[in-house]
Structure 1
Amino acid sequence: MYTRRRRRYFVLMTVCLVLFVSAWGVVRLWSVPLAIAMCLVAAAIPPIAAFAANRREPDDRWWDER
């Protein structure tokens, strides 16, 4: 149950870190505007990851208020 959400969160945060590191470690040598764009995309990922990690799954029981 929690494994899917946890995996989804860690995948998104890994993508975020890869974008940041590759933007300033490699891409900035060829294109600074592209590196900045990659960082802007990476900055938008953590809130999306938080939403994805807290999204209700059909088999979640702890969301039920009954």
Structure 2
Amino acid sequence: MHSPSGELIKVRCPSIFCTGLVELINGRIAPHDGTVPGHCPWIGTRVVDDTTDIDPDYFAKMRAKREA
């Protein structure tokens, strides 16, 4: 999720035991709870916003290929 200024502020945690979006603090996954007790091992992982590397039509093209 991007802020109005374009900064990445929330991401989906890569853990299969975490649900929803988690906040980023200084570009790192913030402390959060998953569906199992204890701290998520992904807390503190640096996140790089690479959305500008993706062709804006990429997902539409993939959907069209799948439907063809």
Larger helix share, 1 or 2: 1
Kindly name which structure, 1 or 2, has the bigger radius of gyration based on alpha carbons.
1
- State if a TM-score over 0.5 links the two structures: no
Return the TM-score normalized by structure 2: 0.27
Return the TM-score normalized by structure 1: 0.27
Larger strand share, 1 or 2: 2
Q: Which has the higher contact order (CA 8 A, sep 6+)?
A: 1
